[in-house]
Structure 1
C-alpha cells in the first residue's frame, strides 16, 4: 500500500499592509505574523485506498515590501484514509509537518483588496516509522486575496497546491513509496507591526468676523443701532492689522429689481462711509450691491421682510 500524506502548509493571510488609524488605510513596509487553516485533499493514492477531506493549520513570520513579500512558515495537517496497519505510522490517517520559505507578489498593494501569487520551498516531515519521519523536499504554489481591515489587521483566503518527493514507510507487506500531492483551501488572519500614527485632521478654519447692519424699508440711512454695529466692525478690523472688508448690500423683494439693485448699493456705500469715519481706510473696503439676491429669509416677490434689508460686513 502507498502511504497517504498531506501538505501541511497553512493558510496565511498575507500582508501588504498599510499605516493608519482605526478608520484609515495607509501603506507601509514592515514585519507581520499570520496564522490560519483550512481543508486539504490528496491528489494521489493507490487503487483501493480511499482518502478523506483533511485539515491543516499553521503560522508565519514575514516581511512585507509593499509588492514583494517573504515569510517563513510552519504548518501541520492530517488526512484520513481507509488503511490500517497496526503499529504502523499509517493507521486510518497520515500527517505531515512542513517548514517552508515563501516568496509572494501582491498586486495592488496600496488597495484594501490585494490579490497575490506565491511560491515556496522547504522540508516536509511525513509520517513514517522513522524517528523524525520521512524527511522530504517540499514545494508549493499559492494564489489568494487579502482584505486589509486597517493598517495592522488583514484577513485572506488562499488556494494552494503542494508536492513533495516520494516518502516511504515500512508496512507488514514491505516498504511502500508514494507520490504526495495535495490541494488546499485556506483562510487566515495577519497582524502587521509598526503601523504609524496618522495625525488628526487640523481643526476647521475659523469663519472670518462678520457683522450685520439693518435698514428701514426703502431707506439707506443708519440707525443708532446700525452705527454701533459699524463701530464694532471697525474695532475688529483694527485688531487684525492688514485686513480687507467687504460690505455687501441687500434688499427685500418689494419694489422693482433694478431699483432694489441700486438701493442695495446705496446701503453698502453708506456703511463704507461710516467705516471710514471710524478710521478704516477707504482702500481696504470693497462695496457690492446684490439687490434681491441672497435673501436671508426666503420670501415671495413683493414681501417686505426686515431681515432682508441689510448690509453684511465681512472682515478677511
Structure 2
C-alpha cells in the first residue's frame, strides 16, 4: 500500500518540477473566491480484497462523481459524491460448500473534502487534500449473492494532484487518491476496503473577478529626468539604455552639485514580491552604469517600486513594455 501511494505521488510530482521551470508561469487571469461545480471520472483499483473465507481477485474498475465547493483562493472546501465499481472473481467455502462466483463490488462515497492550492494565481497549480464522510458498500449473503450497498461505513481519503486554470472560470484537475472505509460486513465476515483511484475532472467557477480601478499615473517630476526600458523579466541594459544613461550622466555633470534618484518599476506579470526585487535589480543596474560614466556612487539613490506605479495602467498579469522601466531624476 505505502509503495503504491509513494509511486503515485512521485509520478504526479514530476510535472510539478517541470512546471516550476516555465518562464511564463503566471497567466493574465485573476483569481477570486467563489462557488464551483464539477464532474470527474477515472480508474479505480480495489486493493487487498477478501471476505473472510471468500478470497477475491479484483480487476481494474472505474469511478465517476460530482462536486460542489467554494474556492477561498488557496484553500478550498467541497462536497463530493463518487460511485466506484470493480469486477471480482471469488472462491471460497460457504454454508453450502465450496463456491466460485464473479460479481461487481459497488461503492458510493459522500465526502467532505478540504484542499489547498499551492499556487492559486498560476496557470498550473499543485494541490493536496483530505476528506471524510460516509460510504455505502456491497455485501454478500450466505448464498454468495451480492447485497447491494448494504453496508453503511465511515469513509476517508487523501488526495494529491495538479490543477490547470484554463481561464477565469474553467479548471481541469488530475489527481491520485487513496480511498478507504471501515470494514464492511458480509455473511463470511468483515473485509478490508482499500482503493486507489486516478481521477480526471473539470470544474466551473461562477462569477467574475471584481474590476479594480488602475492606480493613477505617478506625477511627472519637474527636475530633469530620463527613462530606461527593459525586456520582460530582465535587468540587463540594452545599447539604447546605455546611451540614455550616458545622457543622464552628462546632465548631472553640467549641474555641478546634484542628486540622482533611480527608481525601478515592473509590469504586473508575476507575483508582487518577485516584482519588487526585480525593480531593485533594474535600478541598481542603472546606478552601476552611471558610476561607470563618472557619477559618484554617493550621489545616487536607488528605489524599487515593483508593480505599484505603472506608466500604463493595466490589469493583473499583463506584460506591458512601458511599465518595465527605471526613471532617472536629477535634482
Q: Normalised by the size of structure 1, how large is the TM-score?
A: 0.51
Partner of 1:176: 189
Partner of 1:50: 57
Aligned alpha-carbon RMSD (Å): 2.8
Partner of 1:94: 105
Alignment of 1:8-27 (within 5 A): 24-27=28-31
Tell which structure's C-alpha radius of gyration is larger: 1
CA–CA separation in structure 2 for the residues paired with 1:148 and 1:77: 27
User: Does the 8 Å contact 1:112/1:149 carry over to 2?
Assistant: yes
CA–CA separation in structure 1 for the residues paired with 2:206 and 2:91: 46
CA–CA separation in structure 2 for the residues paired with 1:84 and 1:57: 28
Residue 33 of structure 2 corresponds to residue 29 of structure 1: yes
Residues 140-193 of structure 1 show CA distances to partners (whole Å, capped at 9, x for unaligned) of 0000000000000010100000110000123xxxx3210001111110100000
User: Does the 8 Å contact 1:29/1:65 carry over to 2?
Assistant: yes
Residue segments in structure 1 that go unaligned for 5+ positions in a row: 1-22, 202-316
Residues 114-162 of structure 1 show CA distances to partners (whole Å, capped at 9, x for unaligned) of 1000000000000136675200000000000000000000101000001
User: Does the 8 Å contact 1:83/1:93 carry over to 2?
Assistant: no
Provide closer, same or farther for how the CA distance between residues 155 and 131 of structure 1 changes in structure 2, counting only shifts above 3 A. Answer: closer
Provide closer, same or farther for how the CA distance between residues 131 and 42 of structure 1 changes in structure 2, counting only shifts above 3 A. Answer: closer
Residues 53-91 of structure 1 show CA distances to partners (whole Å, capped at 9, x for unaligned) of 0000000000000111000001101011113899xxx85
State the shift of 1:113 in Å.
Answer: 0.6
Partner of 1:155: 172
Higher helix share: 2
Provide closer, same or farther for how the CA distance between residues 77 and 84 of structure 1 changes in structure 2, counting only shifts above 3 A. Answer: farther
User: Does the 8 Å contact 1:166/1:180 carry over to 2?
Assistant: yes
Q: 1:192 aligns with which of 202, 205, 209?
A: 205
CA–CA separation in structure 1 for the residues paired with 2:168 and 2:136: 36
Partner of 2:120: 109
Provide closer, same or farther for how the CA distance between residues 78 and 84 of structure 1 changes in structure 2, counting only shifts above 3 A. Answer: farther
Q: 1:75 aligns with which of 75, 79, 82?
A: 82
CA–CA separation in structure 2 for the residues paired with 1:91 and 1:133: 18
User: Does the 8 Å contact 1:24/1:151 carry over to 2?
Assistant: no
CA–CA separation in structure 2 for the residues paired with 1:28 and 1:120: 24
Residue 143 of structure 2 corresponds to residue 143 of structure 1: no
User: Does the 8 Å contact 2:106/2:148 carry over to 1?
Assistant: no
Residue segments in structure 2 that go unaligned for 5+ positions in a row: 1-26, 95-100, 141-146, 215-331
Question: Number of residue pairs matched?
Answer: 173
Provide closer, same or farther for how the CA distance between residues 176 and 148 of structure 1 changes in structure 2, counting only shifts above 3 A. Answer: same
Partner of 2:72: 65
Alignment of 1:211-290 (within 5 A): none
State the shift of 1:195 in Å.
Answer: 1.6
User: Does the 8 Å contact 1:25/1:151 carry over to 2?
Assistant: yes
